[in-house]
């Protein structure tokens, strides 16, 4: 059995394709139902976020898994398989592990370093367990990925890369709107990125800050944390009309903000002279500029769309006086940010190596257990013959003989089995040779492959989870 991941993200597909491939709850249920019935896939986990759709699986064969997962994705998304295939990536075995660890550390997110992926991965694991789609293989892998992500955030400033993303967005809109300190700002959404945006803007200072979210309780919690005003989702249109800058990241499927929610361009006062920003009336007036056409001066407004799929319809950015900044416009960041990314990559690389060594060593454990069971059977048979041939042997003498024989067998097997685990960790697999030499039935290894329930919550590298 080998781990495989097949999916698409902002790295493999244009945003328009990601938007078409986004799954609603019915689509997710349909995809998992198709995959759970596959003979090629023994375990399945779906990671579906605002910028990726990925299927992780423990697969019997590579080609069979690729075919079945690809067809299931095409059916669930409604996209032609040929078109979808052009945007898919496939990682197998060791590369699948490396990919998952990079995802959990925030390295593969469009907003590099965002921590929301940890919660999404944890929720995917919870759902997979509850549905019975995730077994010991993916369970252990995902739990280790979660630990890697936590380590990346605790030992580096990778979180600062996302903050810088928001700061770059503000830097792009300030020439259009004026200083942030005088702007009426609205944050749409209350997830990790929206929360980070609200905190970043609050620390920088703004004229006013409003939080809108589908769940009003979540909007109130975030607003309370940053000194903002919470507004109900039903008031979104009013909030948009009142705001100079709107930052949105909801993770919704489909646009949250489109032209239907926006008012017609508002005319400015008739004076065409630019005023000094120290004058409050001038500050308000300066957020308008003249555009060609019959409507005359219109209000300046800006939207920073941090979501994938997009929260803000492209047509909004085509309105007079409106500047729309998307993730694609925000670039790759500075040298300091690259240093943090490099530090996290080093952590991920080390964790991948450690995990693979532990997994390879663990992979020989069923065969080693079978060998020891075989040896124990041989010892038991020979001791039974000995008792039959020596009826006068006392119980104490028989016990000493039994102990001595067991010690001899243990010492004979100890060094070879330890070396087998060490060599497996280095990439050398001698399990097939061992089964051949001792005539061990490989089918019987399945009986000792799955640990008992009380041992399933241990770290494959040792210790408790």
Yes or no: say if 172 and 325 are a contact pair by the CB < 8 Å rule: yes
Report strand pairing: 41-49 vs 2-9.
unpaired
What is the maximum span of the chain, computed from C-alpha positions, in angstroms? 120
| CA 374 – CA 336 distance, rounded (Å) | 58
DSSP state at residue 465: -
Residue-wise DSSP of 311-324: SB-GGGGGSTTEEE
Report the catalytic residues: 50
User: Cα angle vertex 419, ends 415, 425, to 5°?
Assistant: 155
Yes or no: say if 223 and 229 are a contact pair by the CB < 8 Å rule: yes
The two three-digit tokens of residue 261, written as one number: 């929610």
Residue-wise DSSP of 9-71: ETTTS-HHHHHHH---HHHHHHHHHHHHT-SSEEEEEEEEETTEEEEEEEES-HHHHHHHHHH
Tally the residues of the chain. 465
- Taking the CA of residue 180 as centre, how many other CA atoms within 13 Å lie in the half-sphere pointing to its CB? 21
Residues 6+ apart with CB under 8 A from 358: 425, 460, 461, 462
- Residue 261 has phi, psi (to 5 degrees) of -90, -10
The two three-digit tokens of residue 197, written as one number: 């945006």
| CA 147 – CA 355 distance, rounded (Å) | 12
Yes or no: say if 9 and 90 are a contact pair by the CB < 8 Å rule: no
């Amino acid at each position: 059995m080998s781990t495989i991941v097949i999916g698409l993200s902002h790295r493999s597909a244009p945003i328009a394709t990601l938007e078409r491939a986004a799954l609603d709850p019915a689509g997710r249920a349909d995809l998992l139902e198709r995959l759970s019935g596959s003979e090629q896939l023994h375990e399945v986990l779906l990671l579906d976020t605002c910028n990726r759709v990925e299927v992780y699986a423990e697969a019997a064969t590579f080609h069979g898994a690729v075919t079945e997962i690809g067809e299931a994705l095409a059916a669930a998304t409604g996209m032609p398989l040929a078109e979808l295939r052009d945007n898919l990536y496939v990682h197998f075995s060791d590369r699948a592990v490396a990919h998952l660890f990079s995802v959990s550390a925030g390295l593969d997110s469009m907003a590099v370093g965002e921590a929301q992926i940890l919660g999404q991965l944890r929720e995917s694991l919870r759902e997979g367990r509850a549905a019975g789609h995730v077994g010991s293989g993916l369970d252990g892998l995902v739990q280790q990925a979660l630990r890697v992500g936590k380590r990346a955030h605790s030992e580096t400033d990778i979180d600062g890369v996302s903050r810088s993303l928001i700061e770059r967005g503000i830097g792009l809109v300030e020439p259009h709107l004026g200083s942030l300190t005088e702007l009426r700002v609205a944050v749409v959404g209350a997830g990790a990125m929206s929360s980070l945006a609200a905190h970043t803007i609050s620390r920088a200072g703004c004229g006013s800050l409003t939080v809108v979210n589908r769940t009003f309780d979540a909007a109130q919690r975030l607003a309370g944390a940053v000194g903002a005003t919470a507004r109900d989702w039903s008031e979104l249109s009013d909030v948009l009309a009142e705001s100079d800058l709107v930052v949105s990241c909801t993770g919704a499927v489909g646009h949250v903000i489109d032209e239907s929610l926006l008012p017609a361009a508002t005319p400015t006062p008739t004076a065409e002279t630019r005023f000094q920003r120290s004058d409050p009336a001038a500050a308000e007036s300066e957020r308008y500029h003249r555009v060609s056409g019959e409507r005359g001066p219109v209000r300046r407004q800006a939207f920073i769309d941090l979501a994938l799929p997009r929260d803000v319809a492209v047509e909004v950015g085509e309105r007079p006086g409106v500047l729309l900044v998307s993730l694609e416009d925000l670039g790759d960041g500075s040298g300091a940010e690259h240093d943090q990314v490099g530090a996290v990559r080093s952590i991920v690389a080390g964790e991948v190596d450690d995990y693979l060594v532990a997994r390879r060593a663990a992979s020989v454990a069923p065969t080693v257990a079978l060998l020891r069971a075989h040896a124990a059977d041989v010892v038991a048979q020979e001791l039974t013959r000995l008792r039959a041939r020596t009826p006068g042997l006392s119980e104490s003498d028989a016990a000493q003989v039994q102990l001595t024989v067991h010690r001899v067998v243990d010492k004979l097997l100890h060094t070879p089995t330890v070396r087998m685990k060490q060599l497996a960790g280095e990439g050398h697999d001698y399990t097939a040779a061992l089964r051949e030499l001792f005539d061990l039935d490989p089918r019987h290894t399945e009986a000792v492959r799955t640990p008992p329930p009380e041992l399933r919550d241990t770290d494959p590298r040792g210790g408790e989870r």
